[in-house]
Amino acid sequence: MLIRRVPFDHPDAVKLNDEVQAEYHERYGDGGDATQLDASDFEPPNGVYLIAYDADDRPVATGGWRRQDANEEGNRDGDAELKRMFVVADMRGRGLARRILAALEEDARAAGRIRMVLETGTKQPEAIALYTSCGYEPCEKFGYYRFHEDSRCFARAL
């Protein structure tokens, strides 16, 4: 497995983002994640976007982080917000999400971020299990979905 840094608007990132949005729609019955994201959010040193490729150079997993500081949506100074963690269905259960997560945490730490935060939902129990098994703990709600009942937020010191 090869993990590459790519722009958020790279064709492979767009393809995987479309897949994750379709999964959100299937699970939540809405239009997907409405959080505003811009490709510049993931440009170093303010963030990074990663894609894992299999031996056939097929994009199979993705994730990114973007810089957040104290704002009206509940973030704190020094936050790195995890976004678009996703593994294609036929590659799940192989540790790819953990590898992407570890690489993102290392990159955010190197960029001076002090806390990794994420928002997920109650209809993604496997995501919640991954994050809690990696040391993430529930935190105050933040972001676009902070007032939604199904929203769950987690954080981990970097």
Helix (H, G, I), strand (E, B) or coil at 10: coil
Confidence (pLDDT) at 83: 97
pTM beyond 0.75, yes or no: yes
Does residue 30 surpass a pLDDT of 80?
A: no
Band (pLDDT 50/70/90 cuts) for residue 35 is: confident
Domain limits of the chain? 2-157
DSSP class per residue in 79-120: EEEEEEEEE-GGGTTSSHHHHHHHHHHHHHHHTT--EEEEEE
Which DSSP helix (H) or strand (E) runs through 21?
helix 11-28
pLDDT single digits (tens) 143-156: 999 999 999 999 99
- Give 136-143's long-range contacts (Cβ < 8 A, gap of 24+): 140/74, 141/74, 142/73, 142/74, 142/75, 142/117, 143/35, 143/73, 143/74, 143/75, 143/81, 143/119
Instruction: Please state the rounded mean pLDDT for residues 72-92.
Output: 97
Q: Which residues pair with 46 in a beta bridge?
A: none
Which of 25, 49, 35 is CA-nearest to residue 124?
A: 25
The model's pLDDT over 89-126, given as tens digits with 9 standing for 90+, comes to 999 999 999 999 999 999 999 999 999 999 999 999 99
pLDDT for residue 33: 81
Would you say residue 142 has pLDDT above 90? yes
Compute the average pLDDT of residues 73-90: 97
Amino acid (1-letter code) at residue 120: T
Q: Which fold has domain 2-157?
A: Aminopeptidase (3.40.630)
